[in-house]
Structure 1
């Protein structure tokens, strides 16, 4: 998708060469879901880019959920209605079920769809279907790095053979409340670091979709959902949400750790999850993409 276009005009005798540059038009953005992450993304984009980005549509299950939406944004509750909206880019952060509900329509209408709820791709059939829709429509299905560091390196390293990928997720006990962790460990009694789950990324992301959704991102970047090993840890001394990655393969060895501040409006998510989405959106139209 190109927003800056230049036209070369061959000069005739006695004329000088001229180059006409078109003015960049605003990127038309759609959100699937209007929870804490997408609201944060919209706020940061508004503060940083102003009128260079237009929030054209917000996709919701219920119109009543459309609280404090940006002026001019169309609230949509039926995927079929997307065909009436001009969109360049769509961002999903509404949970696994929303990917299945809105994914096909988004890929048919917009030039790219970012799926933050990567745990949805534990469903191999869904992933294959959306990839097929993207190929048929010449669009892109993108998975953001989320709260992680080193995802680009893992994806590059996976060009060669990878032997092992380990993803360890460490959060304060309170961040695991309301999840299956409460069935595996007495969170209120933890006095030191406790690993309460060890298994594949597929199992971790499926069982803990809010807290371990990011494990699917690691897996999709590297050796897959069934070969990526995940450990989930409740640590009373943790001051934030920490991700520790260890990767070994023909490229060498990677070891990286990142500790994120929780998202103020939702401690189960990280601020970095929203920031990674902002970067992806901005890189669709900035002349210097990073």
Structure 2
């Protein structure tokens, strides 16, 4: 029996996530997936192991695009990628808390859209529980270093409190619809939980800045008629980009392996 044709992968983004994902693909570490090109708005020279293309060129050569460059890419290019017949794997899940965008992506084809859970686990269990009935409460508390949470919209008073804090400081509280829009590079976990639960407005989120946070932490607490659940993950931040966790590119690679047809793994 002949082997199936490998997925031809284009990677958008050559940053902290993209370099790890691209390096593993180029080294043949994901059977059934071949890295064809990299898309980035900066000239990469010889730093990438494959040619650098525009998005339009990538769509002519690939059947799967991996987004590893931020929510803006999903908003700008998501529909065009899917309309071309190319599948899209989204790492920046925060973009999908925009209901209008999410609906357009789900109804655009023939390409298919997928998302990866990134730095958080337990999403499959939340999905299973939700199938039995609604959850009464879902709470997420994300704690990171203050410097990784600073945003242009913050006023001087909040920035001063974060920068001078001797302990944890609550930076924002809201829903999983509100928070990813305010922290587009730091709170994709909130969006991933919302996608698992099926309702961004049902997920209450606290974002905490802690100068002693050697690890980035995410605590998910959920309860309903069928039980109560609590997950806590603590990750080392990526050295090159502390706003993301070291584990995120490996979550992307695991999703890629599933899409490429690797067998014998928990799905």
Q: Does the alignment reach a TM-score above 0.5?
A: yes
Count, aligned residues: 262
User: What is the distance in 2 between the residues matched to 1:269 and 1:248?
Assistant: 28
User: What is the distance in 1 between the residues matched to 2:53 and 2:45?
Assistant: 7
- Which residue of structure 2 aligns with residue 192 of structure 1? 167
Structure 1 runs of 4+ aligned residues shifted over 4 Å read 178-183
* 2:25 is equivalent to residue 45 of structure 1: yes
- Structure 1: gaps spanning 5 or more residues: 1-20
1:74: Cα distance to partner?
Answer: 4.8
Q: Residues 4-153 of structure 1: matches in 2 within 5 Å?
A: 21-47=1-27, 49=29, 52-61=32-41, 64-65=43-44, 68-71=47-50, 73-77=51-55, 79=56, 81-85=57-61, 87-109=62-84, 112-134=87-109, 137=110, 139-153=111-125
Secondary structure of 1:258's match? strand
Cα contact 1:198–1:232 (8 A) shared by 2: yes
User: What is the distance in 1 between the residues matched to 2:30 and 2:73?
Assistant: 28
Larger RCO, structure (CA 8 Å, separation 6 or more) = 2
- Which residue of structure 1 aligns with residue 227 of structure 2? 252
**More deviation, 25-34/279-288:** 25-34
Secondary structure of 2:242's match? strand
**More deviation, 50-59/197-206:** 50-59
1:172: Cα distance to partner?
Answer: 2.0
2:134 maps to which of 155, 161, 167: 161
Q: Deviations over 1:89-143 (max 9, x none)?
A: 2211211221122212322345531111112123221111111113xx1x42112
Cα contact 2:89–2:114 (8 A) shared by 1: yes
- Structure 2: gaps spanning 5 or more residues: none
* 2:257 is equivalent to residue 288 of structure 1: no
1:179: Cα distance to partner?
Answer: 5.5
Structure 1 pair 66–52 and aligned structure 2 pair: CA distance change class (3 A): farther
Secondary structure of 1:75's match? coil
User: What is the distance in 1 between the residues matched to 2:198 and 2:165?
Assistant: 33
- Which residue of structure 2 aligns with residue 217 of structure 1? 192
User: What is the distance in 1 between the residues matched to 2:70 and 2:200?
Assistant: 18
Structure 1 pair 43–140 and aligned structure 2 pair: CA distance change class (3 A): same
Secondary structure of 2:66's match? strand
Structure 1 pair 223–27 and aligned structure 2 pair: CA distance change class (3 A): closer
1:43: Cα distance to partner?
Answer: 1.8
Secondary structure of 1:267's match? coil
User: What is the distance in 2 between the residues matched to 1:65 and 1:167?
Assistant: 37
**More deviation, 261-270/176-185:** 176-185
